[in-house]
Amino acid sequence: MIAKKFKIPKKHIALILKKGDSFDSKLYVVRFWQNKVGFPRFRIIVSTKFARKAVDRNKTRRRIYEILRLTVKENSNLKPLDMILIPKKQILSKEFKEISQITEELITKM
């Protein structure tokens, strides 16, 4: 699990979703906003539209947070952005390594 300091506070989520910039990638819809804390922060939103079973939603969320933890640990020169990642259904059929590669490219490109 990612450290608490790298998670976006709940009170900021609505602001980022409403006013933040966005773009689509292969596996995610990304909403982001410049922050002032000096390091990147993340939040994963997985709705019931994504998967009906809570097991699938939680597994996806845990996988993504683990990938983010490893990415932040390896790269200390990431931009200070608040990023909300909303996974697409295609992520369920992907292997962990493939998700990891795509997510790392996405985060370092930002």
pTM for the full predicted model:
0.88
Is the confidence at residue 78, as pLDDT, over 80? yes
Backbone angles phi, psi at 101, to 5 degrees: -65, -45
| pLDDT at residue 90, as a whole number | 92
Section 34-46 average pLDDT? 91
> Which residue in 21, 41, 40, 45 sits closest to 31, CA to CA?
21
Question: Which domains does the chain show, CATH number per domain?
Answer: 4-109 (3.30.230.10)
Per-residue pLDDT band for 108 (boundaries 50, 70, 90) equals confident
Per-residue pLDDT band for 109 (boundaries 50, 70, 90) equals confident
